[in-house]
Amino acid sequence: MSENTGTEQVLAMPNNGEFCWTEIATDNLEVSRNFYAEVFGWNYQKSEATGNEMQYLEFGNNAEKPVGGMFEMKPEWYGGELPKPHFNIYVAVDDADAAARKAFELGGTVVSPPMDLPNVGRMCQIEDPTGAKFFIIKLER
């Protein structure tokens, strides 16, 4: 969805509670990249959001509007041992800190505290009372 502002189009921000991003955390970026490109026809572009710290590829069928990102996990991020490749889902929130507090009050666990991602927004990982993990994010405009 986009808003027409006359001479330019601006992508609309997701509403509170909407799924807004998907990540693929893999142990082999090249194999995953090729697999999804062949299966779904995805195009990739290197994201500038991570700088030179890691290769983060944004993907989707429309290069103008990526729907997710893909990255290769590093053992040091997980205490030396990689988890199995997995998907991360992100849910948009109006306030990451308030949403994390609310989740905790309702029996969830804040896996990683809210943190700022420059040029992206403020996010954290939550585990619901049944053990399902997801991310919340307040996106910058």
Q: What is the pLDDT of residue 91?
A: 98
Whether the Cβ atoms of residue 18 and residue 89 lie closer than 8 Å to each other: no
Q: Residue 41 corresponds to which amino acid?
A: G
Q: Are residues 47 and 83 in the same domain?
A: yes
Per the domain annotation, does 61 fall within a domain?
yes
Per the domain annotation, does 100 fall within a domain?
yes
Where helices occur in 7-70 by DSSP H, the ranges are: 29-40
pLDDT tens-digit readout, 42-98: 999 998 877 777 899 999 998 788 999 999 999 998 999 999 999 999 999 999 999
Per the domain annotation, does 2 fall within a domain?
no
CATH of the domain at 128: 3.10.180.10
Per the domain annotation, does 67 fall within a domain?
yes
Q: How far apart are CA 137 and CA 121, in angstroms?
A: 7
Give the chain's radius of gyration (CA, Å): 16
Per the domain annotation, does 7 fall within a domain?
no
Per the domain annotation, does 6 fall within a domain?
no
Q: Are residues 85 and 99 in the same domain?
A: no
Q: How far apart are CA 87 and CA 68, in angstroms?
A: 10
Q: Are residues 106 and 86 in the same domain?
A: no
Q: Are residues 100 and 137 in the same domain?
A: yes
> For the whole model, what pTM was predicted?
0.85
Q: Are residues 84 and 109 in the same domain?
A: no
Q: Are residues 117 and 134 in the same domain?
A: yes
Q: Are residues 74 and 100 in the same domain?
A: no
- Number of domains forming the structure of the chain: 2
Chain-centre distance of CA 31, in angstroms? 20
Question: For residue 107, what are the domain limits?
Answer: 93-141
Q: List Cβ neighbours of 84 (8 Å cut-off, separation of 6 or more).
A: none
> What proportion of the chain, given as a percentage, has pLDDT over 70?
92
Which residues face 57 on adjacent strands? 46, 70
Per the domain annotation, does 69 fall within a domain?
yes
Whether the Cβ atoms of residue 99 and residue 136 lie closer than 8 Å to each other: yes
Q: Are residues 38 and 86 in the same domain?
A: yes
Q: Are residues 38 and 74 in the same domain?
A: yes
Q: How far apart are CA 62 and CA 101, in angstroms?
A: 36
